[in-house]
Structure 1
């Protein structure tokens, strides 16, 4: 049984949201503001479990973050607890891709009053608001970035972003409309999610095996810590620094991202 009250407390919402497009947007926004995106357990050599109980224990009870397979499992469970009709989709992330990328991202397809919407509580690279699944649909994020959905002959659908690269994890060039990820609405089964999660957590080519990646959405901006490189942008104000002291690294993880590391975890991550 999903503990909705504990989840709502974790994301600082005082009550359930309404089961409509406005409620969906409110729930996703609160989730992203409260729960950081991170791959630190991968880098610490720990397995990534994506069943509902394990994800809840990590992201809610232990107040950690996670990556898309964890984040959107939790979000789907929260949607179901509210009464939304939703199911997972898989996507190919095109940011900085040199070839056709694998289906290593998951998000949600939500059906509201006869209309399908996409909602994503687990994309660590930027913040895209929920959008109706309509060719040409556009939305503007609180940080000012614009998003557009377009039919794609080869890949079904493409989500494009046009916004300042400082409100991303650094993979954006900021050069006009960029493809963020492509997807189809094909049925996704648990086995598909397990396979995608396994590749993401264990494959040598996975970016999550190659760097410590943490990010969080801010009310009007974005903050990230990739290995020792810290970036924060709010409005027009941007801060960038390379952290040289593990004590500062640990403090930044706690104060900015809400991730409380032990001394041993800090030493292991900082040494990478």
Structure 2
């Protein structure tokens, strides 16, 4: 079906369509992440993750659920196209919180060309929030939560996006001081079947993080909130809260009130976080 731009803009809280400019790109990505939560709960519940345009729109816009990167950036990419941006997907290796050999390509983002300049944009990284950035060696950007980001060339992986910020504005994987690698990517062409393959591994492989950890996150005006299994973290400006949820009713309420994810009580029970009463 044709992309319903009006419904997407309503979902993201935008009264007017942003222009296909650098400013419009930043506005669109920010609005997307402030309103559409990152989540992998359907993976844990054993439901397939479809990443075709119609399925993603039905879930994230019509049903007002969230999704992970292959869903989020499919929707974001369709919106970019509808708004007149020139964009294509890239695949990335996520390094945030990783020690050891190179991780698989389990993340996707967008390469956007505006007036001859390439930008990276990402509405689907659930671990932190990076604004759109011009693709240039040493380019930096400041996020509203106080974190800084930097793009550096990488001799093996092409490009590395680095982060320097408080781990309180991540989903719990941040750590250390100074610049930390977030993800690496190349500019190689990415085709539909590449995305299908990476999404299949991410949602089905026994070693995939998304098969083992229940995750929800959302960007806040000056911060970030996450729910990693039963561990809750919220930082917005100078206000911070964290704790462990021990009651499925509180978990369900937290999902709904902060992340906008409404699950039935039986679905929360099926996540396997809390012992049966």
* TM bracket (short chain): over 0.9
Shift of 1:175: 1.4
1:13 alignment partner, SS class: coil
Distance in 1 separating the partners of 2:215 and 2:231: 10
Q: Is it true that 1:39 corresponds to 2:37 in the alignment?
A: no
The residue number in structure 1 matching 2:79 is 78
Q: Deviations over 1:148-195 (max 9, x none)?
A: 000111110000000110000111104110000000001000010000
The residue number in structure 1 matching 2:52 is 51
2:271 alignment partner, SS class: helix
2:105 alignment partner, SS class: coil
Shift of 1:237: 2.1
Q: Give the ranges of 4+ consecutive aligned residues of structure 1 lying more than 3 Å apart after TM superposition.
A: none
Is the 1:246–1:270 contact (alpha carbons within 8 Å) kept by the matching residues of 2? no
* Aligned positions of 1:49-128 closer than 5 A: 49-97=50-98, 98-128=100-130
Distance in 1 separating the partners of 2:64 and 2:252: 16
The residue number in structure 1 matching 2:137 is 135
Distance in 1 separating the partners of 2:153 and 2:269: 46
Q: Deviations over 1:113-145 (max 9, x none)?
A: 010000000000000000000011000001111
The residue number in structure 1 matching 2:13 is 12
Is the 1:163–1:174 contact (alpha carbons within 8 Å) kept by the matching residues of 2? no
Unpaired runs of at least 5, structure 2? none
Is the 2:158–2:186 contact (alpha carbons within 8 Å) kept by the matching residues of 1? yes
Instruction: Please identify, of 65-74 and 93-102, the stretch whose mean Cα deviation from structure 2 is larger.
Output: 93-102
Is the 1:126–1:169 contact (alpha carbons within 8 Å) kept by the matching residues of 2? yes
Q: Note closer, same or farther for the CA distance 1:32–1:25 as it changes in structure 2 (3 Å cut).
A: same
The residue number in structure 2 matching 1:152 is 154
Distance in 1 separating the partners of 2:245 and 2:202: 27
Q: Is it true that 1:223 corresponds to 2:249 in the alignment?
A: no
Distance in 2 separating the partners of 1:92 and 1:211: 18
Is the 1:227–1:270 contact (alpha carbons within 8 Å) kept by the matching residues of 2? no
Distance in 2 separating the partners of 1:75 and 1:171: 24
Q: Deviations over 1:184-239 (max 9, x none)?
A: 00100001000000000000110000110000000001100011111101122211
Distance in 2 separating the partners of 1:203 and 1:39: 14
Shift of 1:96: 2.1
Shift of 1:18: 1.0
Distance in 2 separating the partners of 1:237 and 1:99: 36
Shift of 1:246: 0.7
Shift of 1:270: 4.6
The residue number in structure 2 matching 1:189 is 191
The residue number in structure 1 matching 2:168 is 166
1:104 alignment partner, SS class: strand
Unpaired runs of at least 5, structure 1? none
1:58 alignment partner, SS class: helix
Give me the CA root mean square deviation.
0.8
